[in-house]
Amino acid sequence: MIFVTVGSQEPFDRLIRAVDEWAAASARADVFAQIASGTYRPEHVKFTGFLDPPEFQRLIRDAKIIVAHAGMGSIIAALELGKPIVVMPRLARFRETRNDHQVAAAKHFGAQGRIIVADDEQQLPAKLDYALTLNERDRIDTQASPELLATIRAFLDDDSQKLPSSTSVNQLPANTVEG
Amino acid sequence: MAVSSSGGHWTQLLRVIPAFSSFEVVFVTVLPSYSSQVPNNRFYLVNDANRWNKLRLVTLAFKLAWIMGKERPAVVVSTGAAPGYFALLLGRLFGAKTIWIDSVTNIERLSMSGSLVGRYADLWLTQWPHLAKPAGPRYGGAVL
């Protein structure tokens, strides 16, 4: 099974149309797409608008490859389950997003070899064919890097030391007046 | 209080929650189905919004203010976008310590909400070393 997702917010008809055409050309009947409020209705791909997290997780788990916009929700979900993922970035010039942050993210994670990037519809078919030759990879941890968690914990610890003293300073005059 | 909009913002928020193991965490987000991922936590819904819909922004701010008044959080943390922007401003108003973690997707420049609200955060983080600046944000690791 191949799972296609455009994420939780905006439609991405350009991706759905390209996958639909690829599914027809390669005679694949096992493609399922989440298309948000997209108006393009694929003919060779089964689809739904939105998915609850448990359904989304199940589809990622069952899929051989994931095809998605270059959104971090989709990318992280695929990496957490070790699935090959092909992404096509949304482009601001087609009003698919407000800026081209997805292009930069795709380029970066693509260069790291963690995802496969199709810049546009023309590149997509070959990338899909390639991704289907790949096996599952090691799953990434389901939590942030130890460094980021340590940064936050250090801030919170620091804070809990400061809070009581600043609180007592603020409360002292009031208590004194009442007393 | 952990606040975010949907998709990658929510995914990244969940990935930093282990850092708050000594706190009771309350979630505020925009999709009801996300409650299934945090079944043991109090869970509030707000509407999402962006700068092109002022009415939705106002509704969002009022809902967040009500939730904030009810919960009185010690810490407010957000990964974006609009709900986090208002949550950080309100959190500051209510005396909470505030944490902004700019989404890992913002490689070339900070998010709009992050660049607006970051300087009001007690801990302002980017996930990219090259975006860190002396006046903030700072880099302290990434969600992946």
pLDDT tens-digit profile of A141-156?
999 999 999 999 999 9
The closest of B131, B106, A128, A142 to A117, measured between CA atoms, is A128
Provide the pLDDT for residue A114: 97
Is the domain of A157 the same as that of A122?
Answer: no
The stretch B90-98 carries a mean pLDDT of 97
The closest of A139, A146, A4, A143 to A71, measured between CA atoms, is A4
Q: Tokens for A141, please give them.
A: 């941890």
Is the domain of A95 the same as that of A155?
Answer: no
Does any domain span residue A137?
no
Q: Is the dihedral of CA A145, B48, B117, B122 positive or negative?
A: negative
Provide the pLDDT for residue A176: 39
Is the domain of A158 the same as that of A118?
Answer: no
The stretch B55-75 carries a mean pLDDT of 97
Is the domain of A99 the same as that of A150?
Answer: no
Percent of chain B with pLDDT over 70: 100
Is the domain of A110 the same as that of A153?
Answer: no
> What would the pLDDT profile of A5-19 be if each residue is shown by its tens digit?
999 999 999 999 999
Is the domain of A125 the same as that of A161?
Answer: no
CA–CA dist A29, A7 (Å, integer): 22
How many Å lie between the alpha carbon of A90 and the closest alpha carbon of chain B? 13
Question: In total, how many domains does chain A have?
Answer: 2
ipTM of the complex as predicted? 0.97
Instruction: For chain A, give the number of residues.
Output: 179
Give yes or no for B132 touching A (CB within 8 A): no
Is the domain of A108 the same as that of A148?
Answer: no
Give yes or no for A150 touching B (CB within 8 A): yes
Binary contact (A145, B144; C-beta < 8 A) = yes
CATH code reported for the domain at B2-139 = 3.40.50.2000
3-state secondary structure of B44: strand
Query: For A41-58, b where at least 16 C-beta lie within 10 A, e where not — what string?
Result: ebebbebeebbebeebbe
Model confidence band, residue B120 (pLDDT cutoffs 50, 70, 90): very high
The amino acid occupying position B90 is L
CA–CA dist A122, B95 (Å, integer): 53
Residue of A141, A143, A148 to mutate, interface with B, max B Cβ within 10 Å = A148
How many Å lie between the alpha carbon of A30 and the closest alpha carbon of chain B? 25
Model confidence band, residue A177 (pLDDT cutoffs 50, 70, 90): very low
Model confidence band, residue A160 (pLDDT cutoffs 50, 70, 90): low
Q: Which residue of B has its CA nearest to A78?
A: B11
Model confidence band, residue A98 (pLDDT cutoffs 50, 70, 90): confident
Q: Which residue of A has its CA nearest to B21?
A: A153
Q: Is the pTM of this model over 0.90?
A: yes
For residue A101, the chain B residues in CB contact (below 8 A) are: 105-108
Helices (H), strands (E): how many in chain B?
4, 7
The amino acid occupying position A13 is D
Mean pLDDT of chain A: 91
CA–CA dist A64, A135 (Å, integer): 8
Q: Which residue of A has its CA nearest to B105?
A: A105
Q: Is the dihedral of CA A25, A27, A30, A36 positive or negative?
A: positive
Query: For B107-141, b where at least 16 C-beta lie within 10 A, e where not — what string?
Result: beebbbbbeebbeebbbbbbbbeebeeeeebebbb
Q: Is A150 exposed, middle or buried (0-12, 13-18, 19+ CB in 10 A)?
A: middle
Percent of chain B with pLDDT over 90: 97
Is the domain of A164 the same as that of A95?
Answer: no
Provide the pLDDT for residue A174: 42
Provide the pLDDT for residue B51: 82
The stretch A135-146 carries a mean pLDDT of 96
For residue A37, the chain B residues in CB contact (below 8 A) are: none
C-beta separation of B100 from A152 below 8 A? no
Give yes or no for A163 touching B (CB within 8 A): yes
Q: Tokens for A16, please give them.
A: 């759905």
Does any domain span residue A136?
no
Residue of A72, A145, A170 to mutate, interface with B, max B Cβ within 10 Å = A72
Of A25-34, B45-54, B113-122, the poorest mean pLDDT is in B45-54
For residue A104, the chain B residues in CB contact (below 8 A) are: 107-108
How many Å lie between the alpha carbon of B82 and the closest alpha carbon of chain A? 14
Is the domain of A126 the same as that of A147?
Answer: no
Is the domain of A121 the same as that of A62?
Answer: yes
Provide the pLDDT for residue A1: 97
Provide the pLDDT for residue B52: 82
Provide the pLDDT for residue B134: 96
Model confidence band, residue A73 (pLDDT cutoffs 50, 70, 90): very high
Does any domain span residue A138?
no
Q: How would you list the strands of the sheet with A85-88, edge to edge?
A: A46-48, A31-34, A2-5, A65-69, A85-88, A116-117
Domain range summary for chain B, segments of one domain joined by +: 2-139
The stretch A111-139 carries a mean pLDDT of 97
Tell me the C-alpha to C-alpha distance, in Å, between residue B144 and each of A94, A148, B5, B67.
29, 9, 19, 30
Is residue B137 over pLDDT 50? yes
How many Å lie between the alpha carbon of B87 and the closest alpha carbon of chain A? 18
Higher pLDDT, B2 or B53: B2
Binary contact (A148, B107; C-beta < 8 A) = no
Is the domain of A120 the same as that of A155?
Answer: no
Tell me the C-alpha to C-alpha distance, in Å, between residue B77 and each of A70, A73, B13.
24, 18, 8
Is residue A66 over pLDDT 80? yes
Domain that holds residue A159: 143-179
